């Protein structure tokens, strides 16, 4: 496997992990009060990453 293929595979893994995290967040949100979710630092970090992904066009896959 050449370096480009490795990078493409790693990108696929990261994209799949992002989908899993999104699904887990949805499940979590169903079991926690909205005001509790808003106070979680992990939510802030997820939002920053999502914003960065949108800025670079990372939602195209």
Q: What is the pLDDT of residues 9-42, one digit of tens each?
A: 999 999 899 899 889 888 888 888 878 877 778 8
CA distance 39 to 33: 10
Contact at 8 Å (CB) between 29 and 37? yes
pLDDT above 90 (res 6): yes
For 28, phi and psi rounded to 5 degrees? -60, -45
User: What pLDDT score does 41 carry?
Assistant: 81
37's CB contacts (< 8 A; 6+ apart) are 28, 29, 43
- Higher pLDDT residue, 50 or 23? 23
Residue 59's SS3 state is coil
- Please indicate, yes or no, whether the overall pTM of this predicted structure exceeds 0.75: no
Domain boundaries along the sequence of the chain: 3-55
């Amino acid at each position: 496997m050449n370096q480009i293929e490795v990078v493409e595979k790693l990108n696929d893994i990261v994209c799949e992990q992002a989908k899993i995290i999104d699904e887990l967040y949805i499940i979590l949100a169903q079991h926690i009060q909205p005001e509790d979710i808003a106070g979680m630092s992990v939510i802030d970090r997820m939002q920053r990453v999502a914003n960065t992904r949108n800025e670079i066009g990372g939602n195209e896959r």
